[in-house]
Amino acid sequence: MDAMDSTASQRFIETFWDDSILPSITEYIRIPNKSPAYDPKWVEHGYMEDAVKLMEGWARQQLDAFPGATLDVIRLPGRTPLLFMEVPGDNADTVLLYGHLDKQPEMKGWSEGLGPWLPVRKGDKLYGRGGADDGYAIYACLAALRALHEQKVPRSRCVIMIEACEESGSYDLPFYVDHLIQRIGSPSLVVCLDSGCGDYERLWLTTSLRGIASGTLTVRVLTEGVHSGDASGVVPSSFRILRGLLSRLEDEQTGEVKLPELYVQIPPQRIEQAKEAARVLGNAVYDRFPFAGSTQPMADDTSELVLNRTWRPHLAVVGMDGYPAPGDAGNVLLPFSTAKLSLRTPPTLDGPAAVHALKQAFEANPPGGAVVEFKEGSGQSGWHAPPLAPWLEKAVTRASEQAFGKPAAYMGEGGTIPFMGMLGEKFPDTQFVITGVLGPHSNAHGPDEFLHIPTGKRVTSVVASLLAAHHGRSAVR
């Protein structure tokens, strides 16, 4: 027997999104509350405070419906604020729901009429920075609770945490988790709404997240720039040496990472699921990216592409220094070359160890005696989902069928959500539902980011239905 009328719940959520959520998210998109890493003066600017105020005000109205519910804006000294809500439930069990409100920076290349801080609605899409990543999360969580409340469906106690430092690597969050550990309790289910979806046709569950190992590699050959006509052939080029060093890490023909210590054994179940995801997605695995000209994806087999972006290490050079812009560049043999490296690492690889492996590989035997330095950046471990409990697997299938009309799909994601690694370590027996609305072309972190509204509504229905199933799980086990 179903405790919840899913059609009525979907109808409620649909109206609630249109009447209450979308107007507030529209206001939220206008606020340029970039994550601290991209706005070091965030306190002075006050935008983060504006976003907190907006969401706090909206959330308080919703929480009025729940006797005993609390909302605190927690502010540890010198750290980004955290929205913390406790909503009493019908048993002593706890579900932790997570999202973030800080944003990525603007990025160039927004289409005509669109912009990061300009909310624009076009059909099913609401354009603007942060709507989908991850502003909608707090709204979806509270809408799901409201939908259950309407029908008096029982659920466990819910704790909602919305942080303001995720896009900077969540460096403030461990302090909040320690600070709040008594109030958080020990959740048997974690719901995270900050992830991606392969398409907008079904529920996508994230089964793993990659880690990240970053750092800055500098090759120095001179103490100052000199005439290239005078010096080339005598003084080695720092670019050539940098290029050679990068080849220690990565095969320049194939893009394959060469260091065996940066790989893990891929679990057979994940290989099977990658094949299934590739089958469902077809060419969408790669043609959602804006390839220039006749640029080809890195493999012909789409299931290999899925595994490449979820279980294998891959390098991006994300910044360079030591070079003038071409228009300002004279014939100079430059003193140094610097490259900022961002290496995505397999879910189960230790992040700090990966950074260390990079340092060792680059700094050993400097070519031509050049000064080679790898400044270690952050090393975040990824995350690999524990096996789904049978009740949750059933509940997920059912929730996807009810909300989307299709069964759920399972896939790893290529990005990193640092908090999931942290939680996985703190609560090893917890079940995880990690999903999101970041599907094809939604372009979080890039230009023309949009929130796919029907998916936002459906994901909200899924959350409601999983909360109901979580409470009823002893009955259906």
Binding site for Zn ion (CB under 5 A): 133-134, 194
Q: In what order do the strands lie in the sheet with 409-413?
A: 383-384, 204-209, 409-413
Nearest distance from residue 445's CB to Zn ion, in Å?
9
Nearest distance from residue 418's CB to Zn ion, in Å?
11
If the CB atoms of residues 99 and 313 are measured against Zn ion, the closer one turns out to be 99
If the CB atoms of residues 133 and 413 are measured against Zn ion, the closer one turns out to be 133
If the CB atoms of residues 93 and 134 are measured against Zn ion, the closer one turns out to be 134
One DSSP character per residue, 336-392 reads EEEEEEEEEE-TTS-HHHHHHHHHHHHHSS-GGG-EEEEEEEEEE--EEPPPPPHHH
Angstrom CA distances, 210 to 34, 358, 435, 445, stand at 23, 17, 15, 17
Using CA atoms, how far apart are residues 251 and 254, in angstroms rounded to an integer? 6
Nearest distance from residue 302's CB to Zn ion, in Å?
25
Nearest distance from residue 104's CB to Zn ion, in Å?
8
If the CB atoms of residues 133 and 250 are measured against Zn ion, the closer one turns out to be 133
Cis, bond preceding 301 (omega within 30 deg of 0): no
Nearest distance from residue 169's CB to Zn ion, in Å?
12
Nearest distance from residue 88's CB to Zn ion, in Å?
28
Residues with Cβ < 8 Å from 288, sequence gap 6 or more? 440, 441
If the CB atoms of residues 119 and 415 are measured against Zn ion, the closer one turns out to be 415
Using CA atoms, how far apart are residues 274 and 80, in angstroms rounded to an integer? 37
If the CB atoms of residues 381 and 442 are measured against Zn ion, the closer one turns out to be 442
Determine whether 436 is exposed, middle or buried from the number of CB atoms within 10 Å of its CB (0-12, 13-18, 19+).
buried
Nearest distance from residue 134's CB to Zn ion, in Å?
4
Nearest distance from residue 136's CB to Zn ion, in Å?
11
Residues with Cβ < 8 Å from 249, sequence gap 6 or more? 257, 258, 259, 315, 341, 343, 358, 361, 362
If the CB atoms of residues 37 and 371 are measured against Zn ion, the closer one turns out to be 37
Residues with Cβ < 8 Å from 178, sequence gap 6 or more? none
If the CB atoms of residues 125 and 129 are measured against Zn ion, the closer one turns out to be 129
